[in-house]
Each structure stands twice: as structure tokens, then as C-alpha cells.
Structure 1
Amino acid sequence: MTATETGRTVTVALPRLPRLNSNQRMHWSVWRRRTRLIRETAAWVTTSLREAPMERAQITAVIHPKTNARFDPHNLQPTVKAAIDGIVDARLLADDDSKRVVSVAFVAGEKDPAGPRIDLIVTEVV
């Protein structure tokens, strides 16, 4: 069964937060605090959008760097995972299992001189 977009999209624009990246090695308590901060912030931003719940969706994480230097957008997977959990907490999606989140893609966005940021584009699919 292939997923087709319905055209309904919700953009969850995360404010600038400490990020988690796949290459970091830090104490578990620091990692846990950052994860909680990202998750709670994503839930707050999603709730403030006041969108109706989606049954199934695909998510595109747009990673906006601060500079033009090379970077790997998918290294921010731990940050995006925590943010998706926040979207679930806000009840935009019932869960983030494979039946409800069809795909998660990582793309490089435009440079933002004010600092790096992440936008999650949630597109409803049927």
C-alpha cells in the first residue's frame, strides 16, 4: 500500500534549543534533560497550532544550519525523535509507530545566520 498525500501539512517550527546529535558522547543525565526539553517544547509548539489530529503522516525534518559548512542533516536524528515524541504528546498523531508515521526524511534547509534551527513538516497521508 503506498501512501498518498492529502495536501494537509502542519509545520512545527522548533525554537533554537540545545540539540542532540548522533556523534555526541555526554553523560546520560545531560542527554536526558536535553531530550525532555526538546520533547516538551515540541509538544508546546504543536499544541499552540491547534490542529486536528492526523491518522497517518510522513515527516520531513528540515535542518537549517548557521553557516554554509558541510553537515549531515541525519546526525540530528536524536533531536528529531524527541521532537516527534512531543508531537505525539500534543496528540497531533496518536503514536509514532510504523503504521502512523509512514516515513521520516532529513533535508538540509537554507542557512539561518541567527543560528541553527529545525522545522518539522508533518504531511497527512491516506
Structure 2
Amino acid sequence: MTELIVDIHKAYWISDNDRLYWAALAKRKKHIRQLTHYLAKQQKLILPTPVLVVAEIGFRTGGRADPGNASLAVKAALDGLTDAGAWPDDDSRHVIGPDYRRGPKAPVKDRYRIHLKFIDQRVPF
């Protein structure tokens, strides 16, 4: 299983519950996409396809949270992986999921954490 951790400053975090102006939303998506692209290139990440993606979301606080609301941020991160060449595309032929889970509290107070886990789904026969 391959993993990638993306820590996102609270100023760039995107939630499905946010009501952002389109330009502010685009700026945040671009930041997450470029950050993930950089991290994937740094790790020379190449993923087998098809692959199951599990996204563990580490929130800033330990209170109640809905991990599914991080879908915009996770989608931007998956697009960054496509830009980095980690897989051919993030369509349904190559990527299963993502499956959203609550992760442990983010280690830095002003950041959110997306912990992506990639589980190979190739059948060996």
C-alpha cells in the first residue's frame, strides 16, 4: 500500500459547506492541486491502476466532523496526482473511490491533513 500525506493550511482548506466566491474557490483548488503535484513529484510517485483510494481526513479539532465534506479538497488533490503523472487519469477505469474516513486530529493546529492511501486492485491472474 502506497501513501501520501498532504497538509493544507486552514486559509486554503475547502469544505462542501463553504459558500465561497468562485475566484476564491478556484484559488484554493489550485493551491491544493499544485501542492499535491509537488509532493507526488518529490516522492516520484507512480501508482498501479486500478487503485482504491482511501482519504483519511485529519481535522484541526477533535470535535464532530463529516469527512465527506472534504470531497472538493480531495478531488483537487487527485487532480494534482494526475498532473504529476502518478496515474494516467483519475477516471473510474483507473481510480476506485475515494472512500472518505475520519483520520486522527491534524498534528499542526492551523492545518488540515489529507492522508491518501492507495490500495492496488489488480487481480494477479
SS in 1 for 2:24: helix
2:52 aligns with 58
Following superposition, the deviation at residue 89 of structure 1 comes to 0.8
TM value normalised by structure 2: 0.87
Instruction: Describe the shift of the 1:62–1:53 C-alpha distance in structure 2 as closer, same or farther (beyond 3 A).
Output: closer
Following superposition, the deviation at residue 15 of structure 1 comes to 2.1
Following superposition, the deviation at residue 53 of structure 1 comes to 4.0
Per-residue CA deviations over 1:18-51 (Å, capped at 9, x if unaligned) read: 2111111111111111111100100110111113
Residue 117 in structure 1 maps to residue 109 in structure 2: no
Asked if the contact 1:67–1:113 (Cα under 8 Å) also holds between the matched residues in 2, the reply is no
**4+ residue runs over 6 A deviation:** none
Matches within 5 A, 1:2-81: 9-17=1-9, 18-81=12-75
> Any gaps of 5 or more consecutive residues in structure 1?
1-8
Residue 95 in structure 1 maps to residue 89 in structure 2: yes
TM value normalised by structure 1: 0.87
Instruction: Report sequence identity in percent.
Output: 27
> Any gaps of 5 or more consecutive residues in structure 2?
none
Asked if the contact 2:46–2:87 (Cα under 8 Å) also holds between the matched residues in 1, the reply is no
* RMSD of aligned alpha carbons: 1.3
